[in-house]
Amino acid sequence: MGRKYINKQGRRKSRGHSGVLNAAYKRQQLFKKQDGICALCREEIDLKLKWPHQLSATLDCIIPYSKGGGVVDSNLQLTHYKCNHQRGNKMINEMNEITEIREEER
Ligand SMILES: [Zn+2]
């Protein structure tokens, strides 16, 4: 039983959240949409690989969340962890741990 629950430890307290993103489900959706191809390097992604594997699948915000990009399908793409990392998007480290994303409060 050497199993670790890294993702669960990364869960934030959800105080008044109104939007929930199921990251695993989104990954599968995008995987189908992109035919299993990384949006950045155009090579195949293996969904079975787990973060922080260099070739694991990660959700990437096309427009960074910090710059007003929403967590919506049109702003998300599936990439390798390493490709995202190379792109210099620091957010992706957080994205992998977040299971619930809170929309900005009005
Ligand atoms: Zn890639």
Distance 84 CA to ligand 1 centre (A): 8
How sure is the predictor about 17, in pLDDT bands with cuts at 50, 70 and 90?
Answer: very low
Dihedral angle computed from the Cα positions of residues 44, 47, 48 and 54, in that order, rounded to the nearest 10 degrees: 70
Residue 16 — left, alpha, or beta (φ > 0 → left; ψ -120 to 50 → alpha)?
left
- Between the CA of 47 and the centroid of ligand 1 the distance, in Å, is 12
The candidate with the shortest Cα–Cα distance to 48, out of 24, 15, 76, 72, is 24
- Which residue from 65, 43, 63 is spatially nearest to 55, judged by alpha carbons? 43
| Of 106, 103, 99, the residue nearest 15 (C-alpha) | 103
Banded pLDDT at 40 (limits 50, 70, 90): very high
Q: What pTM value is reported for the model?
A: 0.61
Return mean pLDDT, the chain. Answer: 75
Instruction: Tell whether the model's pLDDT for residue 82 goes beyond 60.
Output: yes
pLDDT at 74 exceeding the cut of 80: yes
Higher-confidence position of 90 and 38: 38
- Distance from the alpha carbon of residue 38 to the mean position of ligand 1, in angstroms: 5
Residue 102 vs residues 2, 15, 24, 105: alpha-carbon distances, Å: 31, 8, 17, 8
> What is the 42 CA–ligand 1 centroid distance (Å)?
6
- Mind listing the domains of the chain with CATH numbers? 19-95 (1.10.30)
Contacts of 51 (CB under 8 A, 6+ apart): 58, 81, 96
Residues with C-beta atoms within 5 A of ion ligand 1: 38, 40-41, 80, 83
Look at residue 20 and tell me whether its pLDDT is greater than 90: no
CA of 77 to the centre of ligand 1 (A): 11
pLDDT of res. 15: 42
Mean pLDDT for the stretch of residues 79-87? 88
